[in-house]
Each structure stands twice: as structure tokens, then as C-alpha cells.
Amino acid sequence: MRTRGTAIGLMLTAVLLGACSGSDSGGEGGDDATAEVMGPKSPGTSLRIEGVADEVPFDAPLHLSVPQGQIDSVEVAPEGGEPVSGELVDDGAAWKADDQLEPGAQYAVTVVASDRFGHEHTLNENFAVQAIPDSQRLTLSMQPADGSVVGVGAPITVRFDQEVTDKAEVERNMHVASSPQVQGSWHWISSTEAHFRPKEYWPSGAKVRLNLDLNGVKAGENLWGGRSYDLDFKIGPKRVTHVDAASHTMTVKVNDKVEHTWDTSLGSPEFATRNGTYIVLEKFDRKRMTSCGANITCDKSSPEYYDLEVDNSVRLSWSGTFVHSAGWSEGSQGSENVSHGCINLSEANGATFFQTARYGDIVTVTNSTRGPEDLVKRGDPGMADWNLKWQNYVAGSALGKPITTTAL
């Protein structure tokens, strides 16, 4: 086999002979020969971005590289969004994002890199991040309702459809803003329910916003937040109702001024209404109430059996505590406790209370013979938020500390 040097030498000999003998091709032959002598122009090095296929994984930070190149700068940004933070690694041979990208989103990447000859190249690619599969997606519901006006004791409630095992990571991405700002805390009632409340009651007229920035947040093994959620609500008048089991009275205050004082009847000694601070949860124009449903008795022959359609029913606990109209007990209201645990009012007073009650209004019961501990332990939504000392409520936060809401 001939070497490249031998080939070039032979070509030079041919060129010189042709020139002495006088070529018919004239100058054109000379130009062609010169091109052969100089050899082909050195080709540029082709660079490409690796790590941005059509879809990149949602469960790991983006990691890209430029084979045979040295990365000078990287910009990765979603459509219309801010660039993603990241850093060069492996001595500039690769780049890694600081955080995971948003699942299901489209991104553009621009990389400036130098090839082995020192030539600078600008490389552009577009890619999508995989969406989270439905089987691995965290889903939830929230309360209060978006755009609602609620009472001063209203907790923010987030109920998850799956068990959250990485509570700290989820809580870190649940943001509360308000005007005015308040100190508050998240509290996990269970692995499927988290509440937020302020240290003191919300100020009347306050505006509150919840942002759950959960898209791509790991909530547990093979469980990821699949989107972000937002809701806004407003705090209405300060409506606090005090029920005294000993004097059989109900006092309703609005913005700290007494608006109503009514006779009432609470639970009889064997079915005593629990002391404690309740919140209004929901209300019904008419609700069927049965002793069987209340786990009292299903025996129709028992004197404790009842099956009633009850007007103006305002729920205070999931265990079955209501304020409602009770025409049948009006003779005892103001003098004796005769109910199965509910707070009875006259037909007229029950209707008035029903018309003005809203989610998050406060109802306190004192001087009864039973405490709230069992319902607090069970995480009953009506009792779980305002019957714990503040330090115990904060201890239920996965992050273990109170927060100050951001300015709204």
C-alpha cells in the first residue's frame, strides 16, 4: 500500500511534467492540481445535544451533555416561563438542572458549546417532559370553596385521595398568602388530610389565597403531584356563638357585639353534648336524622329510637352534632337538657341561626359533662382545629414550625 506522502509526490511529478509539455487545458488544469496539492478543507466538527429526547423523564432532574464538546452556557426554559436553574458538571462536559422539570410541559434549550478546534456552536432543541401516569398521580380536594366568604375559624382543608408518605415535601409546596399577614401552621390530621389555620381567628375582612405548587412533587413511593391548584376566599364578619349547658342559653355575637340570646337544650346526661370549640361545617334546609345512623339504637321499640326530618340543620361535627330547630323540645329549652347530643332551638330561632351560619363560624360549648378529646383524636373536622393548644397544633406540621403567610 502506498503512503499518503508517496501519493502526493507522484501527483507533484505529474503536475510538473504537464506544465513543461504545455497542457491543452491551460490555467484550468493548473487550478485543479493546486487544489489537490493543498488537500481538502478541514471539516467542522458536528456537535449535538444529548439528554433531550422527544420526552424526558418527569421523575429526575434534566441532565444533558454535548459529546466531543465543551459546554459554555445553557438555557432551559418552558414556553413563556423563566429559565431553569442548573450548573455545569463533569468539568463542563455536561449540565444538570437543580430541580425536576414540570411534568407534561414543553421546554426549549439553547446550548453554547465549543468543539475540539475551539469553534463556538449554538445548539437549539425543543423537548417535552413526560406527563405523570394516572396510576401515579396525587389527587385531592380543597375547602373552603374558591371565591367563598367564610367564618373567622375556617381552616384550609386539603384532602388527598391517596396516602401521602412524604408529608414534609408536600407541605413545603403548600403556600398560604393573606392580607393582612398572619401567623399560622399546617397540621396533618392523617396521611390523607392536612389543615391550615391561623394562631388566632382570621381577621374579619381578610383575603386569603392558597397555592398548592405540587406538579412534579414526590408525595410517596410511585406517587407524584400532577398539577398545581389555587383558590381564593374571604373572611366574613366575626360570628362567634357561645352555648352554656348549665344556663341552657345560646349567645350569638357578631363582631364582638351580642346579636341574639336564645333559650336552648343540649344533650341529656347520658348523651351529653361535648364541650369545646366547634366550627360550622355545612347546613341543610331539612335533614333526616335517625338513632340508628347516630349509633344509638336501631331498635324501634327502644325509647331512644327516633327517625325524624329535621329543619334548619347546621352541622358542627361529623360525629353528628348539629344546631337545629326542634319544636318538640321547646318546652325544655332554657331549663333542661333533653336532646341526644344536638343543640336544640325553637323553630323561629333555629331558622334565624341557619340563615346566617356559614362555613368556619365558631360555636363554643361550655359547662357540659363531656370533653372533646375523642373527636380530636379521631380528627373530626369540626373539632380538630380549635381544641388543641397552639404548640400541639404546630407539632402536627410535617415541618414542625409555624409560618407567617406571605403578603397578598
Model pLDDT for residues 352-364, shown as the tens digit of each residue: 999 999 999 999 9
The CATH number covering residue 337 comes to 2.40.440.10
Banded pLDDT at 46 (limits 50, 70, 90)? confident
State residue 45's pLDDT score.
61
Cβ neighbours of residue 160 under 8 Å, at least 6 residues apart? 138, 139, 140, 191, 192, 193, 194, 219
Q: State the pairing for strand pair 193-198/156-160.
A: antiparallel
Residue 332, pLDDT > 80, answer yes
Banded pLDDT at 44 (limits 50, 70, 90)? low
For the entire predicted model, the pTM comes to 0.81
The CATH number covering residue 184 comes to 2.60.40.3710
Domain ends where: 129, 144, 171? 129
Domain ends where: 113, 129, 145? 129
The CATH number covering residue 123 comes to 2.60.40.3780
State residue 79's pLDDT score.
86
Banded pLDDT at 35 (limits 50, 70, 90)? very low
Pairwise CA distance, residues 361 & 343, whole Å: 15
The answer to whether residue 16 sits within a structural domain is no
The answer to whether residue 19 sits within a structural domain is no
Q: In 20-151, at which residue ranges do the beta strands (DSSP E only) sit?
A: 55-56, 63-65, 70-78, 86-89, 94-97, 106-114, 120-129, 137-138, 140-143, 149-150
Shared-domain flag, residues 143 and 173: yes
Mean pLDDT for the stretch of residues 215-227 = 94
298 is catalytic: no
> Considering the chain, what is the average pLDDT of its residues?
89
8 Å CB contact between 215 and 103 = yes
Banded pLDDT at 295 (limits 50, 70, 90)? confident
Mean pLDDT for the stretch of residues 1-14 = 39
8 Å CB contact between 376 and 368 = no
Banded pLDDT at 321 (limits 50, 70, 90)? very high
The answer to whether residue 22 sits within a structural domain is no
Could you report the per-residue pLDDT of 139-169, keeping only the tens digit for each?
Answer: 999 999 999 999 999 999 999 999 999 999 9
Shared-domain flag, residues 277 and 359: yes
The answer to whether residue 47 sits within a structural domain is no
Banded pLDDT at 308 (limits 50, 70, 90)? confident
Q: Is 36 exposed, middle or buried (0-12, 13-18, 19+ CB in 10 A)?
A: middle
Mean pLDDT for the stretch of residues 11-23 = 38
The answer to whether residue 67 sits within a structural domain is yes
The answer to whether residue 34 sits within a structural domain is no
Residue 377, pLDDT > 60, answer yes
Residue 276, pLDDT > 60, answer yes
Banded pLDDT at 11 (limits 50, 70, 90)? very low
Shared-domain flag, residues 290 and 330: yes
Shared-domain flag, residues 120 and 244: no
State residue 21's pLDDT score.
37
The answer to whether residue 386 sits within a structural domain is no
Residue of 187, 195, 248, 342 with catalytic role: 342
Mean pLDDT for the stretch of residues 67-76 = 95
Residue of 187, 195, 248, 324 with catalytic role: 324
State residue 14's pLDDT score.
36
Cβ count near 226 (within 10 Å): 21
292 is catalytic: no
State residue 83's pLDDT score.
95
Banded pLDDT at 287 (limits 50, 70, 90)? very high
CA angle 238, 241, 244 (to 5 degrees): 155
Total structural domains within the chain: 3
Shared-domain flag, residues 348 and 245: yes
- Residue 266: give the domain boundaries: 239-371
Shared-domain flag, residues 329 and 312: yes
Shared-domain flag, residues 216 and 286: no
Give the whole-number percent of the chain exceeding pLDDT 70. Answer: 89
Of 26-30, 131-135, 149-153, which one has max mean pLDDT? 149-153
The answer to whether residue 329 sits within a structural domain is yes
For residue 247, the SS3 value is: coil
Shared-domain flag, residues 208 and 323: no
Domain ends where: 129, 159, 180? 129
Residue 90 or residue 19, greater confidence: 90
Shared-domain flag, residues 224 and 244: no
What is the amino acid identity at position 376? V
Q: Which of 250, 269, 268 is nearest to 259 (CA)?
A: 250
8 Å CB contact between 108 and 35 = no
Shared-domain flag, residues 149 and 172: yes
